[in-house]
Chains A and B, each alone.
Chain A
């Protein structure tokens, strides 16, 4: 499974867009990019995933570069409740789709 690299921490002002980058330069053609977040002392929450095309749902947008070597998760209007650790994971479509977790990005949304 491809390794992903994320900044350790980021800050964002409440109400502004939060753009969280992720590098996955060794991603292979059948690996999806998944984003999860974990609020302190809770289980992770699924946010969004994609393969090649940009994706949007009620929580966020996912922008994947054309070469698929990096992606950006966008929270369009961050709130205080979006403060969490955000994980970007490359998931093989086979292999029981095991998730290999890095340390993620700790996002602090400030009032």
Chain B
């Protein structure tokens, strides 16, 4: 299957700092990438949908100025958590859809963010 690489796998940062998470499609072009957040024992919650070369579409309740998404190329999207606080600690997951292969989405390994 197609490979999506997410980096870093885990990060610990101080409150008030910003953290950038990268999501790369390694062997396909991804016109659309999705960013999710997952709290312990809960399901994945979609945060935003990003299309290459255009602004991301955020889900209701997700602050676009806090969670900056950039999708500058067909193989890379980044999520920056700005001015992180402990309540932003979560598991962040990206997924990408292969525009040449139809409907299934492929997921990165996830990034465990801990804000202290």
Residues of A within 8 A of B (CB): 32, 34, 36, 41-46, 49, 87, 91, 93, 96-104
The answer to whether A46 and B49 touch across the interface, beta carbons within 8 angstroms, is no
* SS class, residues of chain A in contact with chain B: loop
Given pairs A44-B93, A100-B46, 10 additional interface contacts (CB within 8 A)? A41-B110, A43-B4, A43-B107, A44-B95, A91-B103, A93-B103, A97-B103, A98-B49, A99-B46, A103-B43
* SS class, residues of chain B in contact with chain A: strand
Looking at the assembled complex, report how far the CB atom of A5 sits from the nearest CB atom of chain B, in whole angstroms.
13
Question: A96-B32, A96-B49 given as contacts; is B43 within 8 A of A46 (CB)?
Answer: no
Docked complex Cα distance between A32 and B6 (Å): 27
In the A-B complex, the 3 residue pairs with the smallest Cβ-Cβ separation, listed nearest first, are A43-B107, A101-B43, A101-B44
The residue from B1, B6, B97 contacting A43, defined by CB atoms under 8 A apart: B6
The residue from B32, B43, B109 contacting A42, defined by CB atoms under 8 A apart: B109
Size bracket, chain B contacts: 20 to 34
Docked complex Cα distance between A94 and B60 (Å): 19
Looking at the assembled complex, report how far the CB atom of B5 sits from the nearest CB atom of chain A, in whole angstroms.
10
Provide the residues of chain B in CB contact with A49, threshold 8 Å: 103-104
Provide the residues of chain B in CB contact with A97, threshold 8 Å: 97, 103, 105
Docked complex Cα distance between A39 and B49 (Å): 24
